[in-house]
Amino acid sequence: MTDPILSVRDLAIAYRTGRKESVTAVSGVDLDLYEGQSLALVGESGCGKTTLGLGLLRLLPGLGEITSGSLTYRRKDGTRADLLKMKKEQLRRFRWGEAAMVFQGAMNAFNPVIKIGDHFADTLRDHAENGKRWTKAAVEARAGELLETVRLDPDRVLQSYPHELSGGMKQRALIALAIALDPQVLVLDEPTTALDLLTQRSIVQQLHELRKKFGFTMVFITHDLGLAAELADRVATMYAGRIIETGSARDIFYTPKHPYTAGLINAVMPVKGERPALESIPGYPPSLKAMPDGCAFNPRCAFATEECKRERVPLELLAERPLAMGHSVACVHHDQVRLQRKQKENANV
Amino acid sequence: MSDAPLLRLRALEQVFDTKKGPVAAVGGVDLEVKAGKVLCLVGESGCGKTTTARAAAGITRPTAGAVEFRGKSLTDMTPGEKTAYRRAVQYIHQDPYAALNPTRTVASTLTAGLKRHGLVKNRTEARAKAAELLTLVDLTPPESYLDSYPHQLSGGQRQRVNVARSLAMNPELLICDESTSMLDVSIRVSLLNTLGRLRDDLDVGFLFITHDLAVAKYFAWDGEIAVMYLGKVVEHGPTPEVIGNPQHPYTKALIGAVCEPDPDLARANRSSEQLRSAEIPSLTDLPAGCAFHPRCPAFEPGVCDSTEPALEGTGAAGGRRRVACHIVARDQRRESVQHAQSRDDRTLVLDPNKSPGAAWSA
């Protein structure tokens, strides 16, 4: 199908900081997500990636609110749903059944005094469609099936309290729980952060397998560019609350066009191959309360000119490809940006 | 400069008593750090990296074995020597947010140690020294940071203040416990570059702890890496060797598990070898024999689960390469026998009079 499963237009999210004050954490976000795609939102701390991820499901904490824009989903039955116009009850039905979220920090996402099995039972019963009865046996069958797909032993895990499981097991159980109602879209916030290397690898492999099996569309938020390279079809780089570049994973990693994206890629340390001399991006990200005029990256950018200090350019499409796999960048000097080292050469070794 | 190690850990053991019985967090570690060199400890959580570092810093007293600084065991030091040791060895913590006192300004944090150890005469001098330290860690101009409180700084800036504080004592050894893991990529590289400059210019030795192999490779390229698993070192050697040609199945698994920032490479890597189990055994109930055997893809019954492998030299890299694995050791022996035999054959051809047994003893 050619129309996107999720369309975001000009989305802005702000956090109230006082009676009449607020800071804008995300602004001007346009995003189209197509069925079966996996999109990575990458960026450094404070760039707004988690805020955007939460915003996609209207799950913002108390002080956060969507101040403008639109969020349109295509439901399983093909109808369109405007998330911003939904009432509380509609929203509750929409979440988990149509789009689900795996929160950051698997350690704390479960209720510590409720067994894993009861988490499944609660979820399935609470979101049951049109009076469907979830008996104990039905819950166990469904939960068991889900846990087995993430290679956990249902007999043990369903009877366990969260603290009885290791971090990796909790993360896998959490992913299984998130897909319990067969959502079309799964948003994962830092799915492998705080897990050990070998556990990270098994989560990555499981996500590959789950996507193959269930075919859900995936948005994941990460600061780990390695994870993005591993899991994403498409990558969107965020800086100071805006998406500044988006493209296929190969676009972003081999031919980044925004100086910030190139800077990030240049700063990532590879484990295989030679040890390259790496360069950091000078300076620090701006505070949300004191955004520079023009392009937010201009104070740290080697290419910045007077023009960059005056105005900010929108995302410009460089290469159009089907299914929104086009490469877009928000930088006037994009034709000057080059990676320092050629990653392509490493890739072929 | 002498080649004697700055820090030597001799058969270091740290056993904690818990309700579930004794936990050997570190079970016999022998390692050395030389001046101006980096020793990187890598491994997963719970492998004993931090416990080793804390013992090396004199924060905990090891239950067996010894920590020696410049050839002298910590337990034999006079109070004066102990003070000198405490000054010479500085610790940089993982969490830059928790490591600074929120009620002290940067200047106050930086000068506290200087005053305590009598390294400055008066306040003006202390402030000048603090400014100098900030310049050293690239927080310039120092005037704009001296009177800041930690909450006014970003994570990267705070970690630089931590580094500056440790440098105030003119340390000979810095112990960095995951000091860069909470920082963003771009900030991490610049802090590592700063630390690298200190190592090269001031000849500071580093005991550098990280779970991130890429960071270990980047920072310890001219130094050494020791891979720890459940309280023991399983592989140790020069960084390029360990990363480029890992021998121990655990090291191989770790390197294979890294997500490389390269989509094509990641795609090619997808079919990498699987471990037999994803779960780390508990320290209170360690498996018999090699602690890695329940997860090891090279596991051989009867060999790996009977006796514990020793950390033995492999003969590579001038004897600086050590691996604790029965299978690697056996292959090594076979190889050297084959090598000796092939040498034997050659000797026979070249010099038929020479005894063929000679090469065996070589």
Residue A272 falls inside a structural domain: yes
Q: Which residue of A has its CA nearest to B152?
A: A287
Better-scored residue on pLDDT, B96 or A235: A235
**The pLDDT of residue B345:** 57
pLDDT digits (tens, 9 = 90+) for B178-211: 888 888 887 888 889 989 998 999 899 999 999 9
Q: Is the pLDDT of residue B61 over 80?
A: yes
Helix (H) or strand (E) holding B7: strand B7-18
Kindly determine whether residue B256 and residue A201, on different chains, have CB atoms separated by under 8 Å: yes
Q: Which of A249, A272, A280 sits opposite B263 (nearest CB)?
A: A249
- Number of folded domains in chain A? 1
Residue A121 falls inside a structural domain: no
* Segment A125-147 mean pLDDT: 87
Question: Which of A127-136, B14-23, B61-70, B324-333 is most confident?
Answer: B61-70
Alpha helices in chain B (DSSP H): 49-56, 79-88, 106-116, 123-136, 143-146, 155-167, 185-202, 213-219, 239-244, 249-257, 263-268, 326-350, 358-361
**Residues from chain A contacting residue B217 (CB–CB below 8 Å):** 269, 271, 275
Q: What is the mean pLDDT of chain A?
A: 89
**The pLDDT of residue B271:** 61
What ipTM was assigned to the predicted interfaces of this complex? 0.84
**The pLDDT of residue B274:** 73
Q: Is the pLDDT of residue A344 over 70?
A: no
CA distance A147 to chain B (A): 15
Mutation to test the B interface, candidates A197, A234, A268, most B Cβ within 10 Å:
A197
* Segment B42-68 mean pLDDT: 92
Q: Residue B80 to residues B57, B60, B83: CA-CA distances in angstroms?
A: 16, 19, 5
**The pLDDT of residue B273:** 63
CA distance B84 to chain A (A): 36
**The pLDDT of residue B343:** 61
The CA distance from B284 to B21, in Å, is: 7
Residue A161 falls inside a structural domain: no
Kindly determine whether residue B217 and residue A279, on different chains, have CB atoms separated by under 8 Å: no
The CA distance from B314 to B333, in Å, is: 10
> Backbone dihedral region of A273: left (phi > 0), alpha (psi from -120 to 50 degrees) or beta?
left
**Residues from chain B contacting residue A271 (CB–CB below 8 Å):** 213-214, 217, 243, 255, 258, 260
Count of beta carbons in the 10 Å neighbourhood of residue B122 = 8
Q: Which of A44, A202, A278 sits opposite B184 (nearest CB)?
A: A44
* Segment A236-264 mean pLDDT: 94
Report yes or no: A224 at the B interface, CB cutoff 8 Å. Answer: yes
Angle between helices A116-126 and A167-178 (to 10 degrees): 10
Count of beta carbons in the 10 Å neighbourhood of residue A94 = 19
Report yes or no: A58 at the B interface, CB cutoff 8 Å. Answer: no
Among chain B, residues having any CB pair with chain A shorter than 8 Å are 44-45, 154-157, 184-190, 193, 211, 213-215, 217-218, 221, 240, 243, 253-266, 268, 270, 272, 275, 278-280
Mutation to test the B interface, candidates A201, A288, A300, most B Cβ within 10 Å:
A201
Q: Is the pLDDT of residue A290 over 50?
A: yes
* Segment A115-143 mean pLDDT: 89
**The pLDDT of residue A341:** 60
* Segment A16-23 mean pLDDT: 89
* Segment B328-347 mean pLDDT: 74
**The pLDDT of residue A143:** 95
Q: Which of B189, B255, B262 sits opposite A267 (nearest CB)?
A: B189
Look at strands A217-222 and A185-189 and give their pairing: parallel
Count of all residues that appear for chain B in the document: 362
Q: How confident is the model at residue A347 (pLDDT cuts 50, 70, 90)?
A: very low
CA distance A261 to chain B (A): 11
Kindly determine whether residue B185 and residue A196, on different chains, have CB atoms separated by under 8 Å: no
Kindly determine whether residue A198 and residue B257, on different chains, have CB atoms separated by under 8 Å: yes
Q: Which residue of B has its CA nearest to A250?
A: B263
pLDDT digits (tens, 9 = 90+) for B267-297: 877 666 677 877 788 888 889 999 999 999 9
**Residues from chain B contacting residue A275 (CB–CB below 8 Å):** 217-218, 221, 240
For A225, phi and psi rounded to 5 degrees?
-65, -30
Q: Which CATH number fits domain B7-97+171-268: 3.30.460.80, 1.20.120.50, 3.30.750.24, 3.40.50.300?
A: 3.40.50.300
pLDDT digits (tens, 9 = 90+) for A60-103: 988 999 999 999 999 888 889 899 999 988 888 889 889 999 98
pLDDT digits (tens, 9 = 90+) for B204-256: 999 999 999 999 999 999 999 999 999 999 999 999 999 999 999 999 999 98
CA distance B117 to chain A (A): 34
Q: Is the pLDDT of residue A261 over 90?
A: yes
Q: Which residue of A has its CA nearest to B215?
A: A269
Mutation to test the B interface, candidates A157, A254, A268, A271, most B Cβ within 10 Å:
A271
Q: How confident is the model at residue B357 (pLDDT cuts 50, 70, 90)?
A: very low
pLDDT digits (tens, 9 = 90+) for A327-343: 999 999 999 988 866 54
Of the listed ranges A129-133, A170-174, B131-135, the one predicted with least confidence:
A129-133
DSSP conformation class of A214: H
**The pLDDT of residue A97:** 87
Q: Which domain holds residue A239?
A: 6-108+183-348
Better-scored residue on pLDDT, B90 or A199: B90
Angle between helices A197-214 and A167-178 (to 10 degrees): 20
Mutation to test the B interface, candidates A150, A233, A275, A341, most B Cβ within 10 Å:
A275
Mutation to test the A interface, candidates B152, B184, B200, most A Cβ within 10 Å:
B184
pLDDT digits (tens, 9 = 90+) for B108-128: 999 999 998 888 999 999 999
pLDDT digits (tens, 9 = 90+) for B74-94: 999 999 999 999 999 999 988
Residue A14 falls inside a structural domain: yes
CATH number for the domain spanning A92: value is 3.40.50.300
For A235, phi and psi rounded to 5 degrees?
-130, 135
pLDDT digits (tens, 9 = 90+) for B139-184: 888 999 999 999 988 888 899 999 999 999 999 999 999 888 888 8
The alpha carbon dihedral of A12, A17, A19, A22 has a sign of negative
Q: Residue A129 to residues A57, A93, A119, A204: CA-CA distances in angstroms?
A: 20, 9, 18, 31
pLDDT digits (tens, 9 = 90+) for B290-303: 999 999 998 999 89
**The pLDDT of residue A160:** 94
